[in-house]
Amino acid sequence: MNFKEHCEECRAKLGRPYGMVHIWLDAYDGKKGRDKDGEYDYTGINCIKHREKRHHNVGIMECEKHFFKKYEKRLGREFAEKIIPQIVEAAELHIISDMGYIPAKEEYENPWFWRKSE
């Protein structure tokens, strides 16, 4: 699913597109660089490999933390607490649409995992 399709699905099912959630989840798509886990390279032919970064159970928790902090800072704790369940729902929907379910982070380390998702 591309960005537009993720937004449309969220709008249909949750009432809003949640574009920033999709941007955050797919932020590594086509990128190359270095982060806390070391070097990564998601350029080239295997364009779904970037999903190992955020399309899993731990990614959802990181998404929750990331957006909570962002909203708390901008609009206050009460607003952040209210919007977070919807952010999490949008993230879950995105991952289920891409992967069929919400994988555990470790599943991506298994080479067989890639066979069934390709």
Please classify residue 13 by burial: count the beta carbons closer than 10 Å to its beta carbon, then call 0-12 exposed, 13-18 middle and 19+ buried: exposed
Select the span of 9-17, 66-74, 75-83, 96-104 touching Zn ion (CB under 5 A). 96-104
CB of 61 to Zn ion, least distance (A): 17
CB of 54 to Zn ion, least distance (A): 8
Element (H, E) at 40: strand 38-41
| Interaction between residue 98 and Zn ion (CB under 5 A) | yes
Give, as ranges, the residues between 25 and 64 that touch Zn ion (CB under 5 A). Answer: 26
Select the span of 13-21, 61-69, 75-83, 98-106 touching Zn ion (CB under 5 A). 98-106
CA distance 56 to 46: 18
CB 108 within 8 A of CB 76: no
